[in-house]
């Protein structure tokens, strides 16, 4: 056993952990069986059935011997087994699946990278589970997955997801749950189908014969009668028998001793553990009590807690005796969970004041050895917040308060931080938590205090590069939230200088730090209207390392890039990027306090340009729902822009002008946001018959080659200032990088100007070009806004042909062409097949073809075939039209 065990551990130790937790591998290894372990053939034989049934449940009380039974059985199988010891943090769906995927990788299961990784702690993408199930179902033989201590998972959601994967993995997975409580899976269904192997307390209980063999292994030889009595007294409970053996071993007359125990009628584990404990030498007792505060430990850590050296042989000895200590693979140990609980009760009684001190010592030791999550947990348990915050900041992990799987846990952990912590790190953590909730004033106050503390330390010659880099990151975020481009650039330069002063490997461990910095910098530059410079840093985030901790940042950066494309007049590109922002990693929007909802906003703005107004409204509603009234300037400005345009298109200019007013306070105004606010106000004035006011609000808008110049020109023209309009266009001329939406608007201005000047041929020529440019992106709105004269031109040959089908209605039609109900005459719809309905339903949830394929366990090509026939039957040729048409026909 030793040889296989060591090999196994070798490969696991080498595996890097995506969550940055170096000791995670101890959770993916079954504990080693002690020399006194007794194999019981009847149980092993029963467990062999686990290879035939999808689900196996080993369900018994603490100390019933479940874990060792399954570990021993799995080791004898001579095939890879994915093992995961569940911990409390796994009760969040995202964390659970990230760890389970890790456990599968550790076994070398051939899983494609495309499965992805959860980006958020408390949820997992359904597509990810579908891809995982599909990958498992393709295995040559079922993969055995053991989840130990599954009772720690209480979330019904995780049970449901596990059931989904197990079901869809078909024959590719055998799940073994080792648990104290009955899991929330629909066990009755498995029982009816004969698809579950169950081993419960009654079966786990030792028979007198087995008990005799176990006691023999412990060097205790009893007459059959005495053994039977002991089994009755302990109800065959493994932990009870073990403790009996250990307690009796040390006595002169074991039989008499055990008789006394039988008569005592005390609770078994509690009584026996106290007996065994008091027979240990004093230093060993002390060691056991002290390590009871730890989830797992190695001898050096135990030494740190006792303040003495020499724990190693004691621990090895205890493991050999099968007394309390389990071996997780050299050199890690843990206490048997049952004994740990009871020992903690003893610790509290004997030295109640010691517990915080033990946590503090553990935190100090772990901080040096680099185990951040455990350092933080123990530091918090000790109430030593300077230490805890210091560990977080030193590790450059402050970004984890904003993004990544640990975000919620960390937020919760630091929630109890009291005012007594005064270190710079503590203030940085406070500032980060405030800024995360967009509480700018509180955040800035804490940030200034941290800066002061750091500066004081620097004067005394203590340079804290990690602290200052974290501070620079928060400065950039604060600058973003307060719309202060100068502040952001300054802080970003400071960060750049400090990057060289922190250890490269620590920085690499936390890619989210730089990604956060660049995202915030990009957002601030976008606010300042420096679109190209914004794009440079945002693209760097999107192309950066694809760690789980950066998924949300890449999405946020993509949404910002989409907005830049939109402002530059590239609706097609903007749409693709916004969709990618919503679909990368996790489908749907993740509720984030800052800056989110932007992807939906951009899609809504594009929809307005296409005159798909209902769609635009739905998108804006969803953005408002997932991210209510943030104070992120760019997101707010984007939303104001899209809402105002939608209201203008609906013919509600007053409401539009109100919507366009920015509700966010910023140090520096945003040029494009200001321009669009003025444009909306101008349109509102014009609509109410005040051309002079309409013209006046445009006066102060600078237009040196800004992409919005085309719309500015249009507004001037509409207000009756043809010269001003053409002048503005001159400034735009030769400006690179603008897309079809700008070109179309420019051409419309020139066409209308030419038409007004009586040059109808030039107007026609310009309009023809505009139609060709607009058709691909279905840009209907600019033409619908272009006024009756232009529209009349569009309805006459040869322009009507260019406009036919997408812009101009077939004869007799009314309303706008984007409105499908009026564009397509009611048809008798051919009945959709079940699969086609499935596809259509997912289409309506904005799933991509790939996601639909994964969800339905179909190939991408099959889904495309279904899509084509759905389109044909509904007489549409676009996804959004198909969904709308289906809704009208009540097919959804």
325-353: string of b/e by CB count within 10 Å (b at 16+)?
bbbbbeebbbbbebbbebbeebbeeeeee
Neighbours of 198 (CB within 10 A): 17
Give how far Cα 130 sits from Cα of 136, 157, 167, 185, Å: 10, 15, 10, 18
Give how far Cα 469 sits from Cα of 414, 472, 523, Å: 20, 5, 19
User: Which one, 267 or 422, has the nearer CB to other proteins?
Assistant: 267
3-state SS, residue 756 = helix
What gap in Å lies between CA 583 and CA 575, rounded to an integer?
12
Minimum distance between the CB of residue 336 and other proteins, rounded to whole angstroms?
Answer: 10
User: Which one, 160 or 262, has the nearer CB to other proteins?
Assistant: 262
Minimum distance between the CB of residue 191 and other proteins, rounded to whole angstroms?
Answer: 23
Q: Is the dihedral of CA 708, 711, 713, 716 positive or negative?
A: negative
User: Which one, 217 or 345, has the nearer CB to other proteins?
Assistant: 345
User: Which one, 277 or 662, has the nearer CB to other proteins?
Assistant: 277
User: Which one, 183 or 329, has the nearer CB to other proteins?
Assistant: 183
Q: Which two tokens stand for residue 121?
A: 């702690």
Minimum distance between the CB of residue 151 and other proteins, rounded to whole angstroms?
Answer: 8
Place of tokens 């169950």: 198
User: Which one, 350 or 508, has the nearer CB to other proteins?
Assistant: 350
User: Which one, 63 or 595, has the nearer CB to other proteins?
Assistant: 63
Minimum distance between the CB of residue 374 and other proteins, rounded to whole angstroms?
Answer: 20
The CB-based long-range contact list for 502-511 (8 Å cut-off, 24+ gap) reads 502/396, 502/465, 502/466, 502/469, 506/395, 506/396, 506/466, 507/396, 509/20, 509/395, 509/396, 510/20, 510/395, 510/396, 510/397, 510/399, 510/400, 510/549, 511/544, 511/545, 511/547, 511/549, 511/550
Minimum distance between the CB of residue 517 and other proteins, rounded to whole angstroms?
Answer: 41
User: Which one, 340 or 391, has the nearer CB to other proteins?
Assistant: 340
Residue 322's region, left for phi above 0, alpha for psi from -120 to 50, else beta, is: left
User: Which one, 269 or 516, has the nearer CB to other proteins?
Assistant: 269
Q: Which two tokens stand for residue 206?
A: 């030792």
User: Which one, 37 or 271, has the nearer CB to other proteins?
Assistant: 271
Give how far Cα 200 sits from Cα of 204, 269, 762, 777, 830, Å: 6, 20, 87, 64, 55
Residue 96 buriedness (CB in 10 A; 0-12 / 13-18 / 19+) = buried
What gap in Å lies between CA 274 and CA 286, rounded to an integer?
13
Minimum distance between the CB of residue 376 and other proteins, rounded to whole angstroms?
Answer: 24
Minimum distance between the CB of residue 345 and other proteins, rounded to whole angstroms?
Answer: 4
879 cis-preceded (ω within 30 degrees of 0): no
Minimum distance between the CB of residue 85 and other proteins, rounded to whole angstroms?
Answer: 15
Binding stretches for other proteins (CB under 8 A): 61-63, 151, 180-181, 237, 239, 264-271, 274, 337-338, 341-342, 344-346, 348-349
User: Which one, 82 or 239, has the nearer CB to other proteins?
Assistant: 239
Minimum distance between the CB of residue 271 and other proteins, rounded to whole angstroms?
Answer: 6
Find out whether 115 and 101 touch, Cβ atoms under 8 Å: yes
Q: Which of 276, 243, 245, 248 is nearest to 260 (CA)?
A: 248
Q: Indicate the pairing of strand 325-329 with strand 332-335.
A: antiparallel
Minimum distance between the CB of residue 265 and other proteins, rounded to whole angstroms?
Answer: 4
Minimum distance between the CB of residue 149 and other proteins, rounded to whole angstroms?
Answer: 10
Minimum distance between the CB of residue 232 and other proteins, rounded to whole angstroms?
Answer: 13
Minimum distance between the CB of residue 412 and other proteins, rounded to whole angstroms?
Answer: 17
Give how far Cα 474 sits from Cα of 3, 430, 431, 447, 818, Å: 50, 11, 8, 8, 45
What gap in Å lies between CA 345 and CA 221, rounded to an integer?
32
User: Which one, 61 or 375, has the nearer CB to other proteins?
Assistant: 61
Q: Which of 399, 429, 396, 427 is nearest to 414 (CA)?
A: 429
User: Which one, 269 or 767, has the nearer CB to other proteins?
Assistant: 269
């Amino acid at each position: 056993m030793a040889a296989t065990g060591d090999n196994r551990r070798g490969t696991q130790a080498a595996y890097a952990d995506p969550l940055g937790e170096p000791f995670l591998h101890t959770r993916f290894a079954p504990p080693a069986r002690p020399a006194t372990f007794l194999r019981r053939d009847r149980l092993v034989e029963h467990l062999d059935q686990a290879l035939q049934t999808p689900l196996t449940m080993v369900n018994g009380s603490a100390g019933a011997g479940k874990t060792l039974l399954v570990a021993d059985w799995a080791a004898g199988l001579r095939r890879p087994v994915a093992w995961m010891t569940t911990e409390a943090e796994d009760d969040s769906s995202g964390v659970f699946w990230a760890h389970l995927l890790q456990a599968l990788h550790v076994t070398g299961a051939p899983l494609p990278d495309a499965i992805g990784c959860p980006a958020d702690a408390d949820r997992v993408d359904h597509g990810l589970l579908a891809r995982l199930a599909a990958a498992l179902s393709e295995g040559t033989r079922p993969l055995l997955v053991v989840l130990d201590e599954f009772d720690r998972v209480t979330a019904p959601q995780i049970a449901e997801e596990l059931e989904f994967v197990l079901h869809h993995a078909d024959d590719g997975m055998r799940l073994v749950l080792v648990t104290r409580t009955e899991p929330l899976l629909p066990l009755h269904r498995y029982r009816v189908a004969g698809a579950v192997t169950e081993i419960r307390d009654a079966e786990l209980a030792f028979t007198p014969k087995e008990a005799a063999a176990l006691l023999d292994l412990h060097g205790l030889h009893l007459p059959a009668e005495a053994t039977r009595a002991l089994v009755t007294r302990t109800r065959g409970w493994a932990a009870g028998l073990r403790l009996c053996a250990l307690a009796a071993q040390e006595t002169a007359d074991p039989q008499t001793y055990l008789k006394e125990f039988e008569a005592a009628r005390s609770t078994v584990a509690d009584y026996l553990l106290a007996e065994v404990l008091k027979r240990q030498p004093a230093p060993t007792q002390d060691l056991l009590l002290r390590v009871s505060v730890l989830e797992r430990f190695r001898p050096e850590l135990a030494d740190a807690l006792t303040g003495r050296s020499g724990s190693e042989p004691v621990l090895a000895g205890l493991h050999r005796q099968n007394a309390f200590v389990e071996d997780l693979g050299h050199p890690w140990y843990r206490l048997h969970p049952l004994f740990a609980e009871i020992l903690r009760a003893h610790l509290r009684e004997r030295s109640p004041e010691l517990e915080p001190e033990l946590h503090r010592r553990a935190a100090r030791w772990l901080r040096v050895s680099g185990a951040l999550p455990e350092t933080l947990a123990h530091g918090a348990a000790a109430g030593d917040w300077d230490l805890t915050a210091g560990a977080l900041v030193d590790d450059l992990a402050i970004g984890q308060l904003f993004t990544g799987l640990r975000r919620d846990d960390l937020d919760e952990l630091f929630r109890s931080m009291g005012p007594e912590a005064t270190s710079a790190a503590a203030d940085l953590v406070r500032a980060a938590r405030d800024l995360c909730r967009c509480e700018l004033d509180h955040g800035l106050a804490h940030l200034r205090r941290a800066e002061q503390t750091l500066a004081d330390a620097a004067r005394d010659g203590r340079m804290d590069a990690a602290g200052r880099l974290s501070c620079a990151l928060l400065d950039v975020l604060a600058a973003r939230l307060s719309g202060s481009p100068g502040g952001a650039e300054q802080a970003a330069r400071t960060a750049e200088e400090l990057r060289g002063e922190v250890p490269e490997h620590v920085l690499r461990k936390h890619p989210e730090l730089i990604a956060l910095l660049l995202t915030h910098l990009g957002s601030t530059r976008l606010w300042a209207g420096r679109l190209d410079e914004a794009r440079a840093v945002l693209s760097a985030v999107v192309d950066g390392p694809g760690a789980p901790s950066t998924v949300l940042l890449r999405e946020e950066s993509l949404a910002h890039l989409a907005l830049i494309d939109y402002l530059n007049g590239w609706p097609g590109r903007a749409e693709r990027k916004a969709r990618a922002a919503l679909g990368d990693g996790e489908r749907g929007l993740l509720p984030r306090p800052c800056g989110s909802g932007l992807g939906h906003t951009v899609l809504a703005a594009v929809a307005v340009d296409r005159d798909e107004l209902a769609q635009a409204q739905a998108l804006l509603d969803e953005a408002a729902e997932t991210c209510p009234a943030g104070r992120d300037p760019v997101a707010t400005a984007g939303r104001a822009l899209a809402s105002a345009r939608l209201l203008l298109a609906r013919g509600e200019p007053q409401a539009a002008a109100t919507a366009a007013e920015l509700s966010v306070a910023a140090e520096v105004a945003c040029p494009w946001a200001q321009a669009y606010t003025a444009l909306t106000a101008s349109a509102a004035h014009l609509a109410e018959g005040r051309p002079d006011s309409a013209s006046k609000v445009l006066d102060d808008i600078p237009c040196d080659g800004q992409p919005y110049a085309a719309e500015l020109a249009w507004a001037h023209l509409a207000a009756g200032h043809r010269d001003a309009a053409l002048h503005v266009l001159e400034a735009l001329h030769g400006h690179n990088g603008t897309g079809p939406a700008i070109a179309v608007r420019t051409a419309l201005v020139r066409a209308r100007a030419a038409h007004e000047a009586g040059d109808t041929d030039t107007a026609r020529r310009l309009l023809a070009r505009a139609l060709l440019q607009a058709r691909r992106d279905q840009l209907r709105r600019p033409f619908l806004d272009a006024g009756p004269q232009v529209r009349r031109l569009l309805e006459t040959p040869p322009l009507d042909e260019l406009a036919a089908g997408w812009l101009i209605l077939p004869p007799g039609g009314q309303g706008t062409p984007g409105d499908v109900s009026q564009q397509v005459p009611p048809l008798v719809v051919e009945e959709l097949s079940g699969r086609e309905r499935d596809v259509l339903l997912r289409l309506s949830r904005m799933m991509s073809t790939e996601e639909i394929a994964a969800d339905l366990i179909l190939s991408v090509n099959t889904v495309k075939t279904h899509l084509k026939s759905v389109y044909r039957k509904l007489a549409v040729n676009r996804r959004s039209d198909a969904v709308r048409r289906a809704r009208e026909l009540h097919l959804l």
